[in-house]
Structure 1
Amino acid sequence: MTGFLTTHVLDTARGCPAQGLKIDLYRIDGDTRTHITSLTTNDDGRTDSQILPAADFTIGTYELVFHAGAYLDAIGTPAEDPRFLDIIPIRFGMSEQSHYHVPLLLSPFGYSTYRGS
Structure 2
Amino acid sequence: MSVTVSTHVLDAVTGTPAAAVVVRLTDSGGSEIGSGRTDADGRIGAITAAPIPPGRYRLSFDTGEWFRGRGRDTFYPEVVIAFDASGGHTHVPLLLSPFAYSTYRGS
Q: Is the CA contact 2:35–2:48 (under 8 Å) kept in the aligned structure 1? A: no
| CA–CA separation in structure 1 for the residues paired with 2:30 and 2:68 | 27
The AA in structure 2 aligned to 1:51 is I
Letter in 2 for 1:88: V
Aligned-residue offset at 1:2: 5.0
Question: Which residue does the alignment assign to 2:78?
Answer: 87
Q: Which position in structure 2 is the counterpart of 1:40?
A: 37
Displacement of 1:76: 1.6
The normalised TM-score by structure 1 is 0.84
Unaligned ranges ≥5, structure 2:
none
Tell me the SS of whatever aligns to 1:93.
Answer: strand
Structure 1 CA distance, aligned partners of 2:20 and 2:106? Answer: 21
Q: Which amino acid aligns with 1:106?
A: L
Per-residue CA shift, 1:40-70, capped at 9, x if unaligned? Answer: 01110012x40135x3321000000000111
Q: Where is the strand percentage greater, Structure 1 or Structure 2? A: 2
Cα deviation, 1:58-102, whole Å, max 9, x if unaligned, reads 10000000001110111121x2xxx4111111011112x211100
Taking only the aligned residue pairs, the percentage that are identical comes to 42
Distance 1:90 1:52 in 2: 17
Paired residues in the alignment total 107
2:58 maps to which residue? 63
> Could you list the runs of 5+ residues in structure 1 that have no partner in the other structure?
none
The root-mean-square deviation of aligned C-alpha atoms, in Å, is 1.5
Tell me whether 1:7 sits opposite 2:7 in the alignment.
Answer: yes
1:76 aligns with 2:71: yes
Whether the 8 Å contact between 2:2 and 2:53 is mirrored in structure 1 is: no
Please list every run of at least 4 consecutive aligned residues from structure 1 whose deviation after the TM superposition is greater than 4 angstroms. Answer: none
1:52 aligns with 2:42: no
Q: Give the TM-score, by structure 2 length.
A: 0.92
